[in-house]
Amino acid sequence: MELNRVVVTGIGAVTPLGNTAEETWKSLLEGKSGAAPFTHFDAANFKTQFGCEVKNLDVDKYINRKDARKMDRCTQLALISAIQGVNDSGLDLESEDKNRIGVVYGIGIGGIKTFQDEVMYYGQHAEEGPKFNPYFIPKMISDIAAGQISMLYGFHGPNYVTTSACASSTHALADAFNLLRMGKADVIVAGGAEAAICECGVGGFNAMHALSTRNDDPQHASRPFSASRDGFVMGEGSGCLVLETLEHALKRGAKIYAEMVGEGMSADAYHITASHPEGLCAKLVMKSALEDAGLKTSDIDYINVHGTSTHVGDISEAKAIKDLFGEDAYKLNISSTKSMTGHLLGAAGAVEAMVCVLSVKNDVVPPTINHEEGDNDPELDYNMNFTFNHAQKREVRAALSNTFGFGGHNACVVFKKYAE
């Protein structure tokens, strides 16, 4: 069976750095941080009192108020990124066969704020008997994001949500890629979203000692590959990539950002939250993705790493890259854009895949910010180019994006310059 080629024809994003893909990309290249004290709730009694929130988002611009009230913030963000992506793709929805257009989104947690609000209300009024909002369940469930996108446009193709913690939206992209390769659809609106900045979300991650507690200096808290890192910075947002078979894109004269050429998946089978210290299956997932893409390690110019600014994770991922890429590890650029966006959890893979696409298109690599001279971890090899503090212009023929989720879920996707 001959597989279809797959290209990226539209992008959308709502992130702590900007409410569009264009704004986000500009902020990334400028090395801006999206971190600030929490505004979504009073965090005075929490160990962590800051994060990377989406700012000044006009939801009404995209979703009417009546419909928005029936959605958790996570679904709202998913829908907005999809609207942006579809608009950017230039699809003529009047003439398209909507039975051949699908939606695959990745959501790590879903409507946790809705769940919190409903359960807290019941707990405070239990003696009055059960009183729940009829939209409680439809607002909370993760899959509703893909459902809402399909209902907005009338897309009848494959439609579902993938959930694998922080690897969720990379798995969504991988699934969408495979569906298109196998001819199950012509277009897939793919991506991911997350909105877990609330008392339950922050409190839960705090209880695990996973979050940075650098409350006196939020903007410099996310510092991947620095010795003084003390945990990830929680973020929220969404990202969308409109993926399309090359044949379909050419037929309609679509603009093409890049070609998606490979995906990889693996499992650590090691620990519920920690990555394998030797990065064994991080190495495996990158190897699988490269093999799927038909590329060698020397073909990759940029790796957008998972790089969450945790002690174990940063070391194991860097070790995996060195083990797999060998001497080629010193020729490519590595960066963690989580140093700027924070960790977007289920949305991370989609936003970071978009970063790879734009790096390939524009031949520039965004930085890993917040590294200070001398703040070196003896377990890391600083002869590798972590793209510290400033974006670097270079040819980016192909880029690889890593995401690793709690539960040992690893996913990787590869993009390269489109050429006929």
74 is catalytic: no
Who contacts 121 (Cβ-Cβ below 8 Å, separation ≥6)? 131
Q: Which residue has the tokens 């029936």?
A: 70
Token readout for 384 is: 């590798």
Rounded CA-CA distance 144/114 in Å is 13
Of 171, 248, 276, 343, which one is the catalytic site residue?
343
Residue 221 neighbours by CB distance under 10 Å:
27
User: Is the CA virtual torsion 103, 107, 111, 115 positive or negative?
Assistant: positive
Rounded CA-CA distance 51/33 in Å is 10
281 is catalytic: no
166 is catalytic: yes
DSSP codes, 242-307: EEEEHHHHHHTT----EEEEEEEEEE--S-SSSPPTT-HHHHHHHHHHHHHHT--GGG--EEE---
| CA within 13 Å, CB half, 362 | 16
Rounded CA-CA distance 350/82 in Å is 11
Of 171, 220, 248, 306, which one is the catalytic site residue?
306
Of 166, 198, 240, 356, which one is the catalytic site residue?
166
Active site residues: 166, 306, 343
